[in-house]
Amino acid sequence: MSTLKVHAELAALRDAALEDLMATSDAELRQEAVEDGEDLDAVALQIKTAMRETAAATLRQYLVRAKERSPQKMSTRATLSVRPSLEQIKQIVQGVFKTDASLGLAFRNGTKQTDEDWLSLYDDLIAIGAIKPDTHGN
């Protein structure tokens, strides 16, 4: 069987499975999960975690692409601009995350960011346009 035919058959199976899933009511899906011994709360948590990780990875990729497009512009901006105080930066960054649901943040090995993390995050948010430096005294 050719690779092209295998891909076509897999795509058809996927489409049929999705059609079947979309035709099934929420109540039926819940009932099937309970019958299969699934913990619905655990499944929901797994899905939520996967979605957050995917969103964070997408944002990291977006940031990498933004940095690649204008590395000199970003480094010039960071060195020429005067940042607000660290406390102001924390407030600005937290405000951006509260008002822009498309942004996400993943912590490394814990839940606390270092001062350098805050400064870097602030610079990155300026670089992607989430923070306008002129509106915060830069």
Alpha helices in 36-114 (DSSP H): 40-69, 71-80, 86-99
Same domain, 74 and 128: yes
Residues 73 and 99 in one domain: yes
pTM (2 d.p.): 0.41
Residues contacting residue 73 through CB under 8 Å, at least 6 positions apart: none
34 and 9 within one domain:
yes
Dihedral (Cα; 41, 111, 122, 135), 10-degree rounding: 70
Residue 10 and residue 44 in one domain? no
Determine the structural domain holding residue 52 and report its residue range. Answer: 39-136
Number of domains in the chain: 2
What integer best gives the mean pLDDT of the chain? 83
What are the pLDDT digits (tens) for 6-18?
A: 999 999 999 999 9
Confidence of residue 70 (pLDDT cuts 50, 70, 90): low
The verdict on 47 and 106 lying in the same domain is: yes
- Count the Cβ atoms, other than its own, within 10 Å of residue 138: 15
